[in-house]
Amino acid sequence: MIKGAEIFVDAMSEQTAAAASREKIQFDEAFTLHHRTVFRTARSVVQDAGLAEDVTQEVFLRLYHNMDSILDEEMLRPWLIRVAINVARNTLRTKFRANTRDENYVKENEEHGVFSVETDFEQREQLSEVNRALNKVKEPLRSCLILKQQGLSYKEIAESLSLNETSIGQFVARGRKEFARFYGKLGRDVQ
């Protein structure tokens, strides 16, 4: 009987180890498949690559701790995007990182060896105009537009933002019109 109990315990520990390794593989696969999407989503909200990487790390930590709660693989990507948006928004509310953003921008230009005052000014102005126009677009049109630009389907956008899937197409179209209208106005105001 003791020998049978040892075999049973060995079999159970092997099953537990196999289940644990499957979870790790699933997490690794999820990270590999969705890291770029989570990063781009975070970057579109916080508009800073360093801060977006911090948000991405936090999202995957939350995924690691909540792997058991996600039962359907189709829901993984929308769940990650929703968490990325929420974490990014919370990060913006609690941290102000203007100095870090400027330092990273200067480092990027110095690494590429292309740093001229005129080019820098033009790029900053263009990016500033795009951000101002995008910030004038109302929610949820702005979020739908950003997520569609990143290649998400209407279904994924609807699940990520907790909206009705049938209205996503209209939100994206309206968001594009508003962005074009605001971006055009900014261009005329500058000249």
- pTM listed for this prediction: 0.46
Q: What is the separation, in whole angstroms, between the first and last Cα of the chain?
A: 90
The string of DSSP letters for 149-181 reads HTT--HHHHHHHHT--GGGHHHHHHHHHHHHHH
Q: Is the pLDDT of residue 1 over 60?
A: no
Per-residue pLDDT tens for 49-75?
888 999 999 999 999 888 888 777 888
Q: DSSP 3-state assignment of 116?
A: coil
In whole angstroms, give the CA distance from residue 141 to residue 172.
6
Q: What is the mean pLDDT of the chain?
A: 77
* Residues with Cβ within 8 Å of residue 23, at least 6 apart in sequence: 67
The ranges of the chain annotated as CATH 1.10.10 are 117-191
What is the structure's pLDDT at 17? Answer: 46
Report whether CATH 1.10.10 matches the domain 117-191: yes
Identify the CATH assignment for 1-115 out of 1.10.3720.10, 3.40.630.40, 3.30.70.20, 1.10.1740.10: 1.10.1740.10
Looking only at Cα atoms, what is the longest distance across the chain? 90
Pick the closest to residue 38 from 143, 124, 147, 144 (CA basis).
147
What is the structure's pLDDT at 83? Answer: 92
Query: Is there a cis peptide before residue 140, judged by omega within 30 degrees of 0?
Result: yes
Cα 174 → chain centroid? 22
User: Do residues 180 and 130 lie in contact, with contact meaning Cβ atoms separated by under 8 Å?
Assistant: no
Q: Give, as one character, the DSSP assignment of residue 68.
A: G
The ranges of the chain annotated as CATH 1.10.1740.10 are 1-115
- Does 85 or 25 have the greater pLDDT score? 85
